[in-house]
Amino acid sequence: MILLINKANAARHAPLLDQVYRFRHRFFVDRLGWTALRRPDGREIDQFDTDACVHLVGVEGGSVVSYTRLLPTTEPHLLSDVYPEMLQGGTAPTGPDIWEWTRCAVAPEKRERHKGVDATTAHMFLGVAEACLHLGLRALLVQTHPLLMSRIIELGWKARPLALPREYDGQPVVPIYAGVTRETLQASREVYGIRHPVLLVEGEDLHPSDDVVQDHPYADAV
């Protein structure tokens, strides 16, 4: 299950968000070595974790196993306020239907058990595509390794680089524009062999459990 958390249901999921911030700290600080993000309380939170952002949380047995975050480009975001040099003097498209995709992580133990693509990663990528359609988005901005751009294209995203790759912490990183349509979700489901929706979008009075997934209004169209 990939649970969508935003300002409408964040208070209800405060304990889960605490897990999220600790999961992010373990993954990005302890595992990847992003020492600038280290916090004494072991919770990785930054200035973009506001009411405007959307958290996508993979949950199994009550524990966080995957995570990613979407930020509106109509407000401060990483490419505009932290890494503008990635654009090398260029500009990135912004607007209410273009958001930024950041902080993507899958629990290492979920990935290391598999030689190919694991189900946890597959569900998160599908959840991102479903979230884009649910939110009415036409594209995401992503700062990622160039190899992941090829993977995103294979999954049906209409991706193109916004600048040449630059090296950060010894790794090449490229800013990309990734267009998303209903065909993107269809292609991704074909690649992963997962036909059912994976994103849980709560109704106002719906309290989810691990085995409850709400039908999507667009499900019949894909």
Boundaries of every domain in the chain: 2-221
CA dist., res. 45 & res. 17, Å (int): 10
Top-confidence residue, 219 or 88: 88
Inter-residue long-range contacts of 112-117, CB under 8 Å, 24+ positions, other chains counted: 117/192
Q: Apex CA 26: angle with CA 76 and CA 111, to 5°? A: 100
Whole-number pLDDT of residue 214? 37
Superfamily of domain 2-221: Gcn5-related N-acetyltransferase (GNAT) (3.40.630.30)
Top-confidence residue, 141 or 205: 141
pLDDT in tens, 47-61: 999 999 999 999 999
- The reported pTM is 0.88
Tokens 């209903």 appear where?
182
Chain-centroid distance, C-alpha 199:
12
- pLDDT beyond 90 at 163: yes
CA dist., res. 176 & res. 150, Å (int): 11
Whole-number pLDDT of residue 168? 85
